[in-house]
Amino acid sequence: MAREALGDVEHFVLVALVRLGGESYGVPILEEIAARTGRHVSRPAVYLALGRLERRGLLKSRLGDATAERGGRAKRFFTLTKAGARELRQSRQAFTRMWADVEHLVDRAAR
């Protein structure tokens, strides 16, 4: 079966994780995506994406310590794996190749 390409949200999640220093948990990831894209990203979509990426080995997770502000619940920290970094790079390259020489055409169509 052909390897699945990264979806939009998965792509955003991986890039957000890189921006956050390679390891982070749900809240900063959600906030980073919202801040950078200026779009509302559905919470379930982000959690489902995190889950899928972990299944595919592109992320790994560990439980952190419980804190009072979280009602005594632990954070789940996600870390980018090497496979994840490779996948992200390939995805980015695919996008770049697709966009090569068409940006002005899109601009013209949008005018």
Partner 1 sequence: MTRPPRVAVRLLAWRLHPDHRDDVIGDLDEQFIARVSAVGPARARRWYWRETLDLVGGMGWRRDPFAIDGSRSRRVWMPDTWTLDLRHAWRSLGARRGSALATMAVFAIGVGLLSAIFALADPFILRPLPFARPGELVAIDVRSTGLSPDARIPTLDEWRARGDLFKDIAASRGGPTVQLKLADGSVMFRTGLVTENFFDLLGVPVARYAPWRATTWASTWRPSRAGPDPSDLAVIVTPHGRTALRWTADERDLRLTDGGAVRVAGVLSDTFLDLVGCDGLAAYEVGPVIDAYWSPDGSSWGYARHDLIARLQPSVTPDVVQRALAVPLPSGGRLDVTVEPLADRRTRAMRPLALGAFGAGLLILFVCAGNVANLLLARGTYRAQEFATREALGATRLDVARLWLAELGLVALAGATAGLAIAWIALHVAAGVIPAQYVALGAPDVSARVVAFALLAGAAVAIVGLVPAVLVSRVAPRTLLARRASTAGPRVQILRVGFGAVQAALAMVLAVGAAMLLQSSMNLLRRDPGYDGAALTVHVSYRPASAAVVDETVRSSIDRLKHLPGVQAVSATTQAVMDGQRGGGVTLDGRPGVFVFDTFVRPEFFDAAGMTIVQGRPLGEGDHDWRAVVVNQAFVRQYLPATPPLGHLLTRSARQGIIVGVVRDVLDGGLAAAPRPTVYSLMTEVPSPVVYVFRAIGDPAGYREPIRRALVAVNDDAVVSDVDTIDRRLRDSVRDRTFATLVLTMFCLAGGGVTVAGLAGIASFVVARRTREIAIRIAIGATGGDVRRLVAREALSAAVIGGTAGLLIGRWLSTWLTSFTYGVEAGNWTTAVVAGAVMLVVMVAAALAPAGRAVNLQPTEALRVE
Contacts of 37 (CB under 8 A, 6+ apart): 12
Distance from C-alpha of 21 to C-alpha of 54, rounded to nearest angstrom: 18
Beta strand pairing call for 59-67 and 73-80: antiparallel
Q: Give the total residue count for the chain.
A: 111
CB of 6 vs partner 1, minimal distance in Å: 14
In the set 20, 34, 45, 85, which binds partner 1 (CB under 8 A)? 45
Residues 48, 83, 45: CA angle, nearest 5 degrees: 10
Q: Which of 15, 50, 80, 88 binds partner 1 (CB under 8 A)?
A: 50
- Closer of 15 and 24 to partner 1 (Cβ): 24
For partner 1, the closer of residues 15 and 58 by Cβ is 58
Site residues (vs partner 1, CB under 8 A): 25-27, 30, 42-45, 47-48, 50-52, 54-56, 63, 66-67, 69-71, 73-76
